[in-house]
Amino acid sequence: MLKAQDKPQPKAKEDIKLYYRSTISGGIYMHSHGYGVNFRYGQYTSAKTQTILSAELLNMKHPKEYKSFNSYIDDAKGYYYGKQNSLTILRALFMQQKVINGKELKNGVAVSYIYAIGPSFGFLKPIYLDVAYSDGNPVPVAPETTDMYVQTEVFDPDKHDPSTIYGRAPFTRGLGEMSMLFGGHAKFAFNFEYAPEDNMLKAMEVGANLDFFNRKAPIMATEDNSQFFFTLYVSIQFGKKQL
């Protein structure tokens, strides 16, 4: 008697390797002079290579910013003495991501490297402070000064010293007076993708950035400023892969 041939069994769902066409993700990150958020859309050009378009928005602090408080006021708002402008950077990036070591197991980690270039746009917002006044002149903040009042104005290093500053003004002051810087950006990073589900994207990324502008960014009035900003960063990305 002939035995019936065994029929091939279908592979379990978890054993089937799918090849995705694109990814979409967002992330938050900390860098050596601030923090930011990003958005990415990627297209696979091969099984191990992605071309990614990305936008990043971040703040950039001066290395010599130090927060101060007026000791005479219990609820004083902190400020950075000498800070003339805050700098916010918008980056538009063209990225390449290449897999070094793929994720063979469900709970494994895929290791990739990323390099990117693109334009950077810097937005400078003037810093406003609440300053103590008496008889039309800045005066040291002191409880015994009965005729003292507070006036909000742009920081002026020739006019304001720490004793006269009540605290920082609301962030919205100065938004209508912003100026711009134009420049470029370069990035190199390592990406560690660890999502247990194959169609999801969860990754940690560590790397370095360089922003450069057409002129020095006047962040501080009392310190040297630069047109180059080198930073190290770590980010967390969340998103999904699409067939």
CA dist., res. 212 & res. 234, Å (int)? 20
What pTM was computed for the model?
0.86
- Contact between 34 and 59 under an 8 Å Cβ cutoff? The reply is yes
Mean pLDDT of the chain: 89
- Residue with the bigger pLDDT between 14 and 31: it is 31
CA 68 to chain centre: 24
pLDDT digits (tens, 9 = 90+) for 171-217: 899 999 999 999 999 999 999 999 988 889 999 999 999 999 999 99
pLDDT digits (tens, 9 = 90+) for 71-100: 777 777 899 999 999 999 999 999 999 999
pLDDT digits (tens, 9 = 90+) for 110-127: 999 999 999 999 999 999
Q: Name the residue ranges covered by the structural domains of the chain.
A: 18-242
CATH architecture for residues 18-242 = Beta Barrel (2.40)
CA dist., res. 90 & res. 158, Å (int)? 32
Confidence class for position 13, pLDDT limits 50, 70, 90: very low
How many DSSP H helices and E strands does the chain contain?
Answer: 0, 14
